[in-house]
Structure 1
Amino acid sequence: MIFRPNSGAIAHGSALCGELKQFLMENEPDYGASLVPNLSHISFLAKNHTGIDVDDVTHLVGNQYQLTYRYQWSIFNACADMELEGEERTSVSFIVDDSGNIEFNIHDNEERDTLDEF
């Protein structure tokens, strides 16, 4: 994904956060699924079908930013006549290089179980 600010040149800092947020909201279908972690710590039946909802972008330092977002999960088990839904809120850091390329610092979404939660 390549970000192009309205001013043309990328001037890193908190002033750029609004434009980055708008860009990330508009382009969520291109990257959103990659930011939803493995949901096995909730249930092996938990699924995300809606991608993410962008909440905020904040400047950290230099060309590093933080994206705060939410994602929905649901569990449907017809055999138990059960449907559960929930929402998780998290954040991820990312960099914007001088060419406008955005690279998320995605941690390995390895499988977890309920013991990891304790």
Structure 2
Amino acid sequence: MVGPRGFTTPSVEFDPLVGGSYRIAMQPPDGDLFYLSGEFREVNSPARLAYTFRWDPPDPDDRETVVTLALKDLGEATELVFAQGTFATEERRALHEQGWRDGLDRLEEFFA
């Protein structure tokens, strides 16, 4: 359920504490396995999460970014405010945006 449509997540390592790390293996439909990883900078359950995001191994065309998720209870629903940056290029930003849109759409479908 993590990642763009068609992707699977064969493994997830996750230590959600400030200073803790994560590593996620993702596999697109063409079968080429790749990894992303980072460290948790802020863990304020259930309202806020901030962590670094980098490709593992590092992609020379990209740079480490910071992802921030803020959640707000609206009673029957939850509002998510998402931010990620700063990107090396506009093209990299657009690729990340599409991936997150697909992944968040999948999450919404899961909870529908």
**TM-score, with length taken from structure 1:** 0.32
Q: Which has the higher strand share?
A: 2
Compare relative contact order (CA 8 Å, sep 6+) and give the higher one, 1 or 2. 1
Larger radius of gyration: 1
